[in-house]
């Protein structure tokens, strides 16, 4: 079956622009996670959805970052007024249930470059 997909695979934008990154989780997975990975580092948590609601958004670095999952499936990560420091690979993952008991399945990531 289809895995987690993310679009676009690469995004180049200019400083100050708005970007949207999309994640399509595995069908039936109720939990969805966004992570950010800078070069040479491990991923860092951004936000986690259980269904339609953001169960934990404590990893969002500031109010320029926002994510939605209106129908409990596809999620969009939105970044306003992008800065060069936002350049990273943005990873999405989904799991069938709670992370303590279920494997997370990762998408291929979106590489964001802010010029």
Partner 1 sequence: KNEVEQSPQNLTAQEGEFITINCSYSVGISALHWLQQHPGGGIVSLFMLSSGKKKHGRLIATINIQEKHSSLHITASHPRDSAVYICAVLNYGGSQGNLIFGKGTKLSVKP
Please give the residue ranges that form the binding site for partner 1 (CB under 8 A).
31, 33, 35, 37, 40-45, 47-50, 55-56, 58-59, 89, 91, 93, 98-106, 108-109, 111
Q: Is the CB of 12 or the CB of 55 nearer to partner 1?
A: 55
Q: Is the CB of 33 or the CB of 65 nearer to partner 1?
A: 33
Q: Is the CB of 16 or the CB of 51 nearer to partner 1?
A: 51
**Token reading at 59:** 């990893």
């Amino acid at each position: 079956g289809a895995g987690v997909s993310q679009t676009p695979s690469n995004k180049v934008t200019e400083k100050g622009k708005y970007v949207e990154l999309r994640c399509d989780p595995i069908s039936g997975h109720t939990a969805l996670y966004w992570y950010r990975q800078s070069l040479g580092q491990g991923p860092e948590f951004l936000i986690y959805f259980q269904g339609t609601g953001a169960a934990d958004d404590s990893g969002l670095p500031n109010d320029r970052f926002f994510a939605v999952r209106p129908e409990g499936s596809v999620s969009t990560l939105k970044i306003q007024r992008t800065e060069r420091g936002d350049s990273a690979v943005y990873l999405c993952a989904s799991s069938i249930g709670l992370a303590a008991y279920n494997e997370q399945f990762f998408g291929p990531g979106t590489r964001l470059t802010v010029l």
